[in-house]
Structure 1
Amino acid sequence: MVARRRKRAARDPEKGILSPPGYSAIPIKFSEKQQSSHYLYVREHKVREGTKSSWPQKRTLFVLNVPPYCTEECLSRLLSPCGPVQSVELQEKPDLAESPKEPKSKFFHPKPVPGFQVAYVVFQKPRGVSAALALKGPLLVSTESHPVKSGIHKWIRDYADSVPDPEALRVEVDTFMETYDEKMAEEEAKAKEEEGVPDEEGWVKVTRRGRRPVLPRTEAAGLRVLEREKRKRARKELLNFYAWQHRATKMEHLAQLRKKFQEDKQRIELMRAQRKFRPY
C-alpha cells in the first residue's frame, strides 16, 4: 500500500516536493522561528460537465492539508498576493454533492474541526487561480503586522467569541423565523392548490389537511360508543389489579385448558370405539 502511494505521488521538479497528482505544493510556516515548512496542496476546482456547482468555475481554488492554526482570514491573506479574494470557506472534507449552500450562521454553527481541513478559495478574477498554482514560499501565517494567537491567548479569544451579542442574535433569529414562516406559507398554499385537482391520469390527491373527525350521526350511536369505551376502560382498570389476582387468573386459565384437553381426549376415544371400520 505504501509503495503504491509513493508511485502515484508526483514530485514537483522546481520545488522538489512530493505532492499528489494534479496538485501544486505551497510551503507555509507558522512564524519565522519555525524551521520546517508545512505544505498546502492546491489545484483548480473542477466538476463534471452538466453538474451544478456552488463554487464559480475557473475562479475557485481547492486547498488540501490546511492546518488547524490557519483560519479563513489567514488563508485569504496568504493568497491575496495572487489576486483579490472574494471568499474563503473551510470544511472538514470536500463536497461530494454539488448543491447550493445555505448561508452560514454567525451564532448557530457546528463546532470547529480540530484537525486538518480543506478549503475553497474564490478569487474575483480567474488569473488568481493560475497565480496561486505558481506561488512559491514559504509563506508566513503569523507576522508582526498580522499575529495569530495561540495557546492560552487563543483560548481567551475563543471564549470571548462564544459570548454572543444579544441584539445581533435577536436579529438573526427573527430573520430566520420570517424566512421559515414564508416557506411554510408557500408550501401550504401549494398543497391547497394541488388538493382536489386531478392530474394527467385523472387521480385526485387527498391529504389529511381537509379531513374532519367522523362524528356519530345519531344520539343513540354516540351513546353506544361511549358505553363501549366505558366498558373497555373498566375492564382494563379492574383486570389483574393485584399481583395475586394476576396469578389466580393464570392458574384458572391453565385449569380450563387442562379440562378442555381431557374432554377432547375422551371424545376422541369415544369416536374410536364407535368406529365401524376396523382395518386391523
Structure 2
Amino acid sequence: MQKISDFHVLPITYSSQATHYMYIRAHASRPKPGAVDPLPADRTLFVVNLPPDATERELKTLFGKFGTVERVSFAGHDRVQAILEQEDETSEEEEGNVDADENGMDEDDSDGEDVQAKKQRKKVEREAKVAPKVVPLPIAALRALRPTGSVGHIVFASPQHLNASLAIPAASLPLKWPKFKATSSAEPSGLSHYIARHKALRPPLTAIKEHADSSMEVFEYKQAQASKRNSKYRKGEAIVDEDGFTLVTRGGAYGQTLGGGVGVASKKFMQEMKNGGRKRKKKTTSKEGFYAFQVREKRIKEQIALKKAFEADQQKVEQRQGKRFKPY
C-alpha cells in the first residue's frame, strides 16, 4: 500500500468510474491525565476522509474482510459516549446499592403513606392514561450525511486484525465498496437518498391532518387542565364569600361541600368589622313600574306633559304671527 506520512492510502471504488481515497493508520491514544481512553490503541484503526454517506454496516462489511469488527466510531462521538456510559454504569451501581438500603428501610413505612397522597398519585396516573397524545408525522429511514473529510475509528477484536488491515497487498487494491440489495434494510444512498428525503419532507395530507388535529387536542386538554387548577371551585371544599358566609351551591363535581362545617371569615371582613362595619347603599323598597296601576299612571302623566308642551308651542307660534316687521 502507498504511504503518505504516517498514513496508508486505501482506495475504494463505487464503480469503474468513481474512486474514493481513505487514509488509515493505527490509533495513537492520547488521553488527558486521569482520563481513560475507551478506544484500545492496539486494536483500533484510525480512518480519515470517510465517505459522507458511509454507515456503520458498510464500514463493518468493508473492514470485516481483515477480521472481526467490534464497533465503529464516527468523529469521536462514540468515544465521548463510551466515557459517559462508563460513568453512568458506576453511578447506577452506587445508586442501586443506596436504593437497596433505602428500600429495605422504607418497606415498613410504605403502609403508613398518606391517603391523600395515594389519591393524588392515582389521579395523576389516571389523567396520564386519558390524556391525548400527538400523532407524529411519518419519518423515513435516511442515513446521516457527514461533512467531507470526516474521521472515524474501527475497533477490531484482536491486534492481528488491525495488522492485517494495515498490510493489504497491492494486488487486492482498490477495495470495492459494499453494496446491499434494495430489498434489504439498508438506507438509500446516492440519488435515491435525496428522492427519499424529498418525499419525507412532503408527507400526505391525511398524516398532516392527523398530526394537526392531535396537536390541537393536546393543546385544548392542557388548557382545560390549567383552568381547573386555577378555578376557585374545588370538589369537597366549601365556598366562602367576602363576608365569611358559606355559599349554598347545587351539587355536582364543583362546589359540592362534603365536609360541612362553618366557613372562616376573611381578613377583609374582619378588618371592616373593626372599623365599624361595612357601609352599604340603602336600597329603595318600592319598585317603579312593578304594578299595573303604576304603569297606567305613568302613561297618563306622560300624555298630560305632552299635551301641555303642545299647547305651549301653539301659544308661541300665535305670538310670533301677531308681530310684524315695521322698519319705519
Higher RCO by CA contacts (8 Å cutoff, separation 6 or greater): 2
Structure exhibiting the larger radius of gyration computed from Cα positions: 2
TM-score (norm. length: structure 1): 0.41
